[in-house]
Amino acid sequence: MVIVSWGRVAVTAALVLALAACGEPDDNAPHQGSETPKAMTVRVVTTDTISSLDPAGPYDAGSRTVQANLYQTLLTIMPGKPTPVPDAADCQFDSPTTYTCSLKEGLTFPNGHELTSSDVKFSFERMLRLRTPNGPAALFTSVTSVSTPDDLTAVFNLRRPDARLPYLLTTTAGSIVDQEFYPPNKLLDTKAMGSGPYQLSAYKPGNAITLARFDGYKGPRGSRNDGIEITLLKDSTALYQAITTGKADLAFHGFGPSMLDKLRKSDQVQVVESDYAAIRFFAFQMKSLTARKPAVRRAVAQLIDRPAIVKKAYGDHVTPLYSVVPPGFGGQADAFKTEYQEPSKVAAAAILKQAGIAVPVPLTVGWTPVEYGTGAKNEVLELKRQLEASGLFKVTLRSAEWPQYQQATRAGAYDLYHGGWIPEYPDADDYLAPFVRTGAVFNNGYRSAAAAALLDQETTEQNGLERDELLGQLQGVIATDAPVIPSWQGRFTVVAGKNLENVATALNPLSFLYLSGLRL
């Protein structure tokens, strides 16, 4: 889509030059006595909050949208390309524990300071030293140091091989800041000095932020507009009014399903969607004697009807998911569809019978009413209906508010519990490690020597094709063991005015926006 758009611009530019050469007027040139063309400023509204402009600070979606446009990273991921490409640098592994990045020449910050390898070293060492709560430092635990052989070379020295590093460097956690502008031992929440497509023009915390195009940016995300005005709104009603009355060109984060359905019927706006990295799942807690039985877990996996859940609980606003890794990530495989085919009462009954398990099996399912959205209740009710309709299970639903729910899941209060996950970096590993690695965020007691070995292998494997194969095998092990059963993948939806171009290219699966491609 980006290539097509650029091609159209290039052809148009060539035509204008040709007409000008033939004596035709150039409508893009200033006319005598005319006013200077108005700047192309894109007005954006959202219900997000911005916690910090500092990329070493909190790692929430609202902050990332701003940081992704103010700062440059060494590598980036462009629309339609699943693997990292150069932004500020070209990088490669020189050895399994040495990753070298060669910076582009002539990089600068908006204040005129040169961007050198010293700024890269400072940025990463500062982020790792600050270790802000809810910040990104935990992503780079494999990095021991950054060395700088010369002004254009930064070398990441690793304590262990880490094939995830190129993907980690595309996140806002890898943003490069000006070492002469930033204090080394504290955050700079309300100011910014990066080398990205935009520079900070004005900021009223909790209210609005204005970005102006930075013409000195050298990378693949050069701005095609003059600037961005982001206004932070309180609720979905204000969001809806802003986009439908023409007061905003783009609105995101805050629309409910019914409101989106209404907007889809309007001929005044465009509703644009992309796959969203958020997933929902049901996880077994291995402290439960019932959950420890592989046949019980496999029988549940054999019965779950994902399209029915998606339709009845979410009105088809989400997508059925057949792996803990959603489509769009390297190595993804629909392992649960391969393992269990279609929902089947007969197949599930055979699994339980072969294991000598009497039916109906009592099963306690936990859920929380707020944290995972308004559809969570209907989702667990539909799961209960499906399992009990088979005659193989007797389900008891139990709910708790957050954080009591977190405590209950860890304590083993449920056999099976509803959960959700949004990855921190754009790689399949961040969907697998939380369930497999000991001490990870979803530490439900699952232990598998085969899964652990595959996780270690894919983390260190530098050959992309071989790593994808390992990732696929690991998803297969999880599908066979069924310690967690994926349910659905979300969609990232934005609403834009009819005249706004290139909206789809702005959407990042991690739920933030790259705004430089937008045009009016």
Sign of the alpha-carbon torsion through 223, 226, 230, 236: negative
196 lies in which domain range? 41-86+122-136+171-268+498-513
One-letter amino acid for residue 471 of the chain: L
Q: Residue 31: pLDDT band by 50, 70, 90 thresholds?
A: very low
**Same domain for 397 and 327:** yes
Q: CA–CA separation, 27 vs 23, rounded Å? A: 12
Write out 68-103 in H/E/C secondary structure.
HHHCECCEECCCCCCCCEECCEEEEEEECCEEEEEE
Any domain includes 370? yes
CATH number assigned to the domain comprising residue 358: 3.10.105.10
Any domain includes 29? no
Query: 224 and 139 in contact (C-beta within 8 Å)?
Result: no
pLDDT of 14 above 50: no
Which of 11-15, 162-166, 251-255 shows the lowest mean pLDDT across its residues?
11-15
**Same domain for 211 and 79:** yes
Q: CA–CA separation, 347 vs 85, rounded Å? A: 46
Mean pLDDT of the chain: 90
**Same domain for 299 and 219:** no
**Same domain for 226 and 128:** yes
Any bridge partners for residue 365, and if so which?
Answer: 397, 416
Residue that the structure tokens 């996996």 belong to: 301
Any domain includes 284? yes
pLDDT of 449 reads 96
Residue that the structure tokens 């800041």 belong to: 177
- Distances from the Cα of 499 to the Cα of 19, 246, 494, 495, 518, angstroms: 26, 11, 14, 12, 10
| Helices and strands (H and E) in the chain: how many | 15, 19
The two three-digit tokens of residue 89, written as one number: 């640098």
**Same domain for 509 and 433:** no
| pLDDT tens per residue across span 38-69 | 789 999 999 999 999 999 998 788 899 999 99
**Same domain for 346 and 224:** no
pLDDT of 460 above 60: yes
Q: CA–CA separation, 185 vs 398, rounded Å? A: 45
**Same domain for 441 and 383:** yes
* 3 Cβ contact list (under 8 Å, min separation 6): none
Any domain includes 2? no
Any domain includes 428? yes
Query: 517 and 350 in contact (C-beta within 8 Å)?
Result: no
Any domain includes 420? yes
Q: Residue 24: pLDDT band by 50, 70, 90 thresholds?
A: very low
Q: CA–CA separation, 435 vs 423, rounded Å? A: 12
CATH number assigned to the domain comprising residue 72: 3.40.190.10
One-letter amino acid for residue 456 of the chain: D
Structural domains of the chain, count:
2
| pLDDT tens per residue across span 195-240 | 999 999 999 999 999 999 999 999 999 999 999 999 999 999 999 9
Query: 338 and 479 in contact (C-beta within 8 Å)?
Result: yes
The backbone torsions φ and ψ at residue 450, rounded to the nearest 5 degrees and listed phi first, read -65, -45
Per the model's pLDDT, the better-predicted residue between 327 and 441 turns out to be 327
**Same domain for 397 and 505:** no
The two three-digit tokens of residue 245, written as one number: 């009355």
| pLDDT tens per residue across span 420-446 | 998 888 899 999 999 998 777 787 899
Helix (H, G, I), strand (E, B) or coil at 197: coil
Any domain includes 32? no
| pLDDT tens per residue across span 359-418 | 999 999 999 998 888 899 999 999 999 999 999 999 999 999 998 999 999 999 999 999
Which of 130-139, 301-310, 397-406, 422-431 shows the lowest mean pLDDT across its residues?
130-139
Q: CA–CA separation, 291 vs 286, rounded Å? A: 6
pLDDT of 37 reads 65
- Distances from the Cα of 280 to the Cα of 276, 311, 325, angstroms: 12, 15, 11
One-letter amino acid for residue 140 of the chain: F
Q: CA–CA separation, 215 vs 134, rounded Å? A: 33
Q: Which helix (H) or strand (E) holds 431?
A: helix 429-436
Per the model's pLDDT, the better-predicted residue between 32 and 333 turns out to be 333
The two three-digit tokens of residue 188, written as one number: 């700079």
The two three-digit tokens of residue 489, written as one number: 């993948």
Any domain includes 114? no
- Percent of the chain at pLDDT > 70 equals 93
**Same domain for 331 and 227:** no
**Same domain for 373 and 311:** yes
The 143-150 sheet, strands edge to edge: 89-95, 98-103, 153-158, 143-150
pLDDT of 443 reads 76
Query: 255 and 70 in contact (C-beta within 8 Å)?
Result: no
**Same domain for 348 and 308:** yes
pLDDT of 29 reads 43
Mean pLDDT value across residues 167-189: 96
Q: CA–CA separation, 237 vs 90, rounded Å? A: 45
Mean pLDDT value across residues 283-310: 97
Helix (H, G, I), strand (E, B) or coil at 152: coil
Coarse DSSP helix, strand, coil percentages of the chain, rounded to the nearest 5 percent: 35, 25, 45
pLDDT of 5 reads 28
- Percent of the chain at pLDDT > 90 equals 80
pLDDT of 25 above 60: no
Q: Residue 6: pLDDT band by 50, 70, 90 thresholds?
A: very low
Per the model's pLDDT, the better-predicted residue between 80 and 450 turns out to be 450
Q: Residue 466: pLDDT band by 50, 70, 90 thresholds?
A: very high
**Same domain for 421 and 329:** yes
pLDDT of 285 reads 96
